[in-house]
């Protein structure tokens, strides 16, 4: 039986009927639909609508539905169910008889979907936060293993200054930790319970909303039934947070792709995560990284799709809101699948540290440190910059590095150049000069590794507490 056939004289056009269904995708909300229905049933009993026996029978029926869905996946191949809410009602009645129809007393699917989707997003946030900490941990491990290995850092994609490989890895950890924090922030705001909001004006029965909210782990009931049934802000916040996470992963993937090219030669792709070419026998392609970059575009697209779907909707519930589910699921799946693969990739990828180190010592990446040498000897910064610029020009003409210029010759540029200048040009000195919190001096990076591990542990503990 449909949930609404009474006032209709004609059946639905079969193509329309199939087309408007959401069960194909919202069945993944079944678990939350069952939990929320249990809370509602309890409230109906407390309001005197269900007898104790009816409540028990409904709760047992709900449990049975959950059990069958897990044990027999084909149970969910239901061509009649309009959506997950209809499916549960239909199965409940099949299992326990007409009492099953009492479950819907005083509630509307509008509040149900708003509740189920919140529960889904909340659980997914907890799961994602754990996955993010896994990835961050591997990155920090790799940063620690890299020790004092250096690499070139770029600005404008031109060689800029040497940094520790660990410092570069930690840059991404910072981004991912912000993503984890954004998800936690989104979780705070979404954790309110729409149950008892009815279709738009509030439940038609005296249901205890505080108890329902509490039993589902929500902080409080929603404050306004019109807003509660039409609000999908949490999906927008969630998918936008995922877009940022995906965007960070995409930037990282792009760098790794560049670094794995022959021209850079910094990264040796793990065979377990690469593919070959059907035509060119020599190829080892960075498919995992490319797909991370590619799929992140779809995640971003979903964030846009959500806002466009919602922006023109009058209050309150409109069927358009059904369209907000798939972008949420698709983006969640994309990240939940990507993150563990990236953990595996990061554990096995090799850095050609010797090559990185040697490149880090070329291309005048010590020029700013050289200017700093002069600044420390009293030369005004702008003039020091000018002098080193001139020295670089000399090197370009002679096709050599700053360290190849004799001190005597440099003295013609400035008397501030001393015998210790060449020492200041060495990689170790250049790195050590960046001795500020957040800088790349080895001691600072070690300090950052310790601090980052603490931050990761805090996220992990919080995610565990919720799980
Ligand atoms: N499948 C619907 C959705 O996802 C459930 C709510 C239906 N409500 C209604 N008034 N037709 O939005």
User: How do residues 230-279 score in pLDDT, each as one tens digit?
Assistant: 999 999 999 999 999 999 999 999 999 999 999 999 999 999 998 888 88
Q: Are 239 and 216 in contact (CB under 8 A)?
A: no
Predicted model pTM? 0.96
Ligand 1 midpoint to CA 369 (Å)? 64
Ligand 1 midpoint to CA 109 (Å)? 6
Q: Which atom of ligand 1 is nearest to the CA of 199?
A: 10
Query: What pairs with residue 158 in β-bridges?
Result: 155
Cα dihedral 396, 398, 399, 400 sign: negative
Q: Hey, how many other C-beta atoms are within 10 angstroms of the C-beta on 309?
A: 19
Q: Which two tokens stand for residue 12?
A: 């639905």
Determine if ligand 1 sits within 6 Å of the CB of residue 405: no
Determine if ligand 1 sits within 6 Å of the CB of residue 109: yes
Ligand 1 midpoint to CA 431 (Å)? 60
Determine if ligand 1 sits within 6 Å of the CB of residue 317: yes
Determine if ligand 1 sits within 6 Å of the CB of residue 83: yes
pLDDT of residue 7: 84
Tell how strand 150-155 and strand 192-193 pair up: unpaired
156 tagged catalytic: yes
Ligand 1 midpoint to CA 28 (Å)? 15
Mean pLDDT of 288-295: 98
pLDDT one-digit tens code per residue, 153-207: 999 999 999 999 999 999 999 999 999 999 999 999 999 999 999 999 999 999 9
Mean pLDDT of 420-432: 97
Determine if ligand 1 sits within 6 Å of the CB of residue 318: no
pLDDT interval class at 123 (50, 70, 90): very high
pLDDT of residue 4: 78
pLDDT of residue 280: 86
Ligand 1 midpoint to CA 337 (Å)? 28
pLDDT of residue 169: 98
Cα distance between the two ends of the chain: 37
Ligand 1 midpoint to CA 322 (Å)? 6
Mean pLDDT of 360-375: 96
Q: Which of 5, 51, 277, 381 is the catalytic position?
A: 277
Q: Hey, how many other C-beta atoms are within 10 angstroms of the C-beta on 271?
A: 10
pLDDT of residue 27: 98
- How far is residue 15's CA from residue 24's CA, in Å, rounded to a whole number? 15
DSSP code of residue 78: -
User: Residues 433-456, buried b or exposed e (16+ Cβ, 10 A)?
Assistant: bbeeeebbbbebbbebbeebbebb
Closest CA to 370 of 358, 387, 356, 393: 387
Determine if ligand 1 sits within 6 Å of the CB of residue 88: no
Q: Which atom of ligand 1 is nearest to the CA of 321?
A: 12
Residue 315 CA from chain centroid, whole number = 30
Q: Which of 74, 156, 262, 412 is the catalytic position?
A: 156
pLDDT interval class at 465 (50, 70, 90): confident
- How far is residue 352's CA from residue 356's CA, in Å, rounded to a whole number? 6
pLDDT of residue 276: 86
DSSP code of residue 11: P
Closest CA to 219 of 187, 191, 261: 191
- Residue with CA closest to ligand 1 atom 11: 319
Cα dihedral 172, 175, 177, 183 sign: negative
pLDDT interval class at 281 (50, 70, 90): confident
277 tagged catalytic: yes
Determine if ligand 1 sits within 6 Å of the CB of residue 110: yes
Return the best residue to mutate from 16, 25, 110 for the ligand 1 pocket (most ligand atoms within 8 A of CB). Answer: 110
pLDDT of residue 209: 98
Q: Is the pLDDT of residue 467 over 80?
A: no
pLDDT one-digit tens code per residue, 405-415: 999 999 999 99
Q: What percent of the chain has pLDDT over 70?
A: 100
pLDDT of residue 449: 98
Ligand 1 midpoint to CA 251 (Å)? 38
Q: Which atom of ligand 1 is nearest to the CA of 4?
A: 11
Ligand 1 midpoint to CA 266 (Å)? 52
Q: Is 186 helix (H, G, I), strand (E, B) or coil?
A: helix
pLDDT of residue 204: 96
Return the best residue to mutate from 83, 108, 232, 323 for the ligand 1 pocket (most ligand atoms within 8 A of CB). Answer: 83
pLDDT interval class at 214 (50, 70, 90): very high
Across the chain, mean pLDDT equals 97
- Residue with CA closest to ligand 1 atom 10: 110
- Residue with CA closest to ligand 1 atom 12: 322
């Amino acid at each position: 039986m449909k949930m609404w056939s009474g006032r209709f004289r004609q059946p639905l056009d079969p193509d329309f009927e199939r087309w408007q269904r959401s069960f194909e995708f919202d069945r993944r909300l079944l678990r939350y639909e069952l939990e929320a229905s249990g809370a509602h049933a309890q409230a109906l009993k407390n309001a005197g609508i269900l007898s104790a026996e009816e409540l028990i029978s409904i709760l047992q029926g709900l449990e049975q539905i959950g059990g069958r869905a897990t044990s027999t996946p084909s149970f969910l191949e239901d061509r009649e169910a309009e959506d997950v809410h209809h499916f549960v009602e239909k199965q409940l009645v099949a299992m326990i008889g007409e009492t099953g129809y009492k479950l819907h007393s005083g509630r509307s699917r509008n509040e149900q979907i708003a509740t189920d989707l919140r529960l889904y997003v909340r659980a997914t946030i907890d799961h994602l936060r754990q996955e993010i900490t896994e990835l961050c941990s591997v990155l920090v491990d790799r940063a620690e293993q890299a020790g004092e290995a250096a690499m070139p850092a770029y600005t404008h994609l031109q060689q800029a200054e040497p940094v520790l490989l660990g410092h570069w890895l930690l840059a991404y950890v910072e981004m991912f930790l912000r993503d984890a924090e954004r998800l936690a922030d989104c979780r705070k705001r979404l954790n309110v319970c729409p149950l008892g909001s009815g279709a738009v004006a509030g439940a038609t029965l005296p249901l205890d909303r505080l108890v329902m909210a509490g039993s589902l782990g929500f902080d409080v009931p929603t404050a306004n039934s019109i807003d509660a049934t039409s609000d999908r802000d949490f999906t927008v916040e969630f998918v936008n947070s995922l877009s940022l996470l995906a965007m960070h992963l995409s930037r990282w993937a792009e760098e790794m792709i560049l670094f794995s090219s022959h021209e850079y030669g910094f990264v040796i792709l793990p065979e377990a995560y690469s593919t070959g070419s059907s035509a060119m026998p020599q190829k080892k392609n960075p498919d995992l990284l490319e797909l991370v970059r590619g799929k992140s575009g779809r995640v971003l697209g979903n964030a846009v799709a959500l806002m466009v779907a919602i922006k023109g909707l009058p209050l309150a519930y409109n069927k358009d809101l059904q369209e907000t589910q798939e972008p949420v699921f698709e983006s969640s799946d994309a990240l939940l699948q990507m993150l563990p693969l990236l953990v595996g990739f990061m554990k096995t990828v090799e850095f050609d540290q010797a090559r990185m180190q040697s490149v880090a010592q070329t291309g005048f990446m010590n020029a700013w440190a050289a200017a700093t040498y002069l600044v420390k000897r009293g030369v005004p910064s702008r003039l020091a910059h000018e002098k080193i610029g001139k020295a670089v020009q000399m090197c370009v003409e002679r096709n050599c590095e700053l360290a190849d210029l004799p001190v005597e010759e440099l003295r013609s540029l400035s008397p501030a150049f001393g015998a210790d200048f060449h020492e200041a040009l060495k990689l170790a000195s250049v790195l050590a000069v960046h001795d500020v919190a957040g800088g790349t001096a080895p001691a600072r990076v070690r300090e950052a590794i310790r601090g980052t591990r603490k931050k990761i542990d805090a996220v992990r503990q919080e995610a565990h507490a919720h799980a």
